[in-house]
Chains A and B, each alone.
Chain A
Amino acid sequence: MAGKRFRAPPRRTAYTGGRLVDPASGLDAQGGLLTEGKQIIDVGPGLFTDGAPEDAIHVDCTGLVLAPGLIDTRAHLREPGAEHKETLFTASRSAAVGGITSMLCTPDTDPVIDGVAEVEFISRRARETSLVKVFAMAAITVGSRGEALTEMGLLAENGVPAFTDANRAVENAGLMFRALKYARSLDLLLVQHPEHPALAGNGTMNAGVLATRLGLPSRPPIAEMILIERDLRLAEAAGSRIHFPLLSTRGAVEAVAAAKARGVAVTAGTAPHYFALTESEVEGWRTFAKVSPPLRSEADRSAVAQAVVNGVIDVIASDHSPHHEDSKRLPFEQADFGMAALEAVLPLALEFVHSGQLSLIELLRRVTWNPASIFGVPGGRLAPGEPADLVLLDLDHAWVLDAKEFRSKSQNAPYTAHPVRGRAVRTVVDGRPVFGEGP
Chain B
Amino acid sequence: MSRTEIVHLIDRADLIADCLAQDNRPPDPLPGHLLISLFFENSTRTRASFQIAGQHLGFNVVDMSLATSSTGKGETLLDTAMTLNAMRPDVLVVRHAMSGVPHLLSHKVNCAVINAGDGNHEHPTQALTDALTIRRRKGTLEGLTVAICGDIMHSRVARSNMRLLTIMGSTVRVVAPATLMPAGIEAFGVQPFESMAEGLDGADVVMMLRLQLERMQGSLVPSTREYFRFFGLDSDKLRAAKDDAVIMHPGPINRGTELDSVLADDIGRSLILEQVAHGVAVRIAVLEALVQNAAAGGPG
Residues of A within 8 A of B (CB): 207-218, 220, 284-285, 326, 329-334
Contacts and interface: CB of A to CB of B under 8 A. Distances in A.
Most buried by A among B76, B156, B183: B183
Interface in B102-149: 103-104, 118-122
Give the top 5 A-B pairs by smallest Cβ distance, nearest first: A215-B121, A285-B100, A209-B184, A331-B98, A215-B120
Contacts of A326: 76
Interface in B51-78: 76-78
Contact of B182 (A212, A285, A334): A212
Nearest to B120: A215
B296 to A, nearest CB: 26
Contact of B122 (A211, A215, A284): A215
Nearest to B185: A212
29 contacts: A207-B183, A208-B183, A208-B184, A209-B183, A209-B184, A209-B187, A211-B182, A212-B184, A212-B185, A212-B188, A213-B159, A214-B100, A214-B121, A215-B99, A215-B100, A215-B119, A215-B159, A216-B99, A216-B119, A217-B120, A284-B100, A284-B103, A285-B99, A285-B104, A330-B77, A331-B77, A331-B104, A333-B98, A333-B119
A156 to B, nearest CB: 40
Nearest to A207: B183
Which of B100, B118, B184 has the largest number of chain A CB atoms within 10 A?
B100
Contacts of B34: none
B96 interface: yes
Interface string B174-217: 00000000111101100000000000000000000000000000
B101 interface: yes
Most buried by B among A208, A212, A216: A212
Contacts of B98: 331-334
- Bin the interface of chain B by size: 20 to 34
B183 A331 contact: no
Contacts of B182: 211-212
Interface of B: 76-78, 96, 98-101, 103-104, 118-122, 156, 159, 182-185, 187-188
Nearest to B123: A215
Contacts of A210: 184
Contacts of B104: 285, 331
Contact of B100 (A217, A329, A331): A331
B78 to A, nearest CB: 6
A152 B169 CA distance: 64
Given A212-B185, A215-B122, A331 B159 contact: no
B178 to A, nearest CB: 13
A212 B122 contact: no
B127 to A, nearest CB: 14
B183 A218 contact: yes
B183 A220 contact: yes
Contacts of A284: 100, 103
A212 B118 CA distance: 13
Contacts of B156: 215
Contacts of B101: 331
A285 B96 CA distance: 14
Given A208-B183, A211-B183, A331 B96 contact: yes
B99 A332 contact: yes
B192 to A, nearest CB: 11
Contacts of B77: 330-331
Given A330-B77, A333-B119, A214 B99 contact: yes
A216 B101 CA distance: 12
Contacts of A218: 183
A144 B101 CA distance: 32
Contacts of A329: 76, 78
B103 A212 contact: no
Given A215-B121, A215-B156, A215-B159, A332 B100 contact: yes
A218 B78 CA distance: 24
Q: Which of A220, A285, A334 has the most CB of B within 10 A?
A: A285
Nearest to B119: A215
A212 B100 contact: no
Nearest to A326: B76
Contacts of B184: 208-212
Nearest to B182: A212
Nearest to B156: A215
Contacts of B122: 215
Given A215-B118, A285-B100, 14 more contacts: A208-B184, A210-B184, A211-B184, A212-B159, A214-B99, A215-B99, A215-B159, A216-B99, A284-B103, A285-B103, A330-B77, A331-B99, A331-B100, A332-B99
Contacts of B96: 331
Nearest to A217: B120
A290 to B, nearest CB: 11
A211 B101 CA distance: 15
A218 B156 CA distance: 15
Contacts of A207: 183
Nearest to A212: B182
A68 to B, nearest CB: 43
Nearest to A285: B100
Nearest to A210: B184
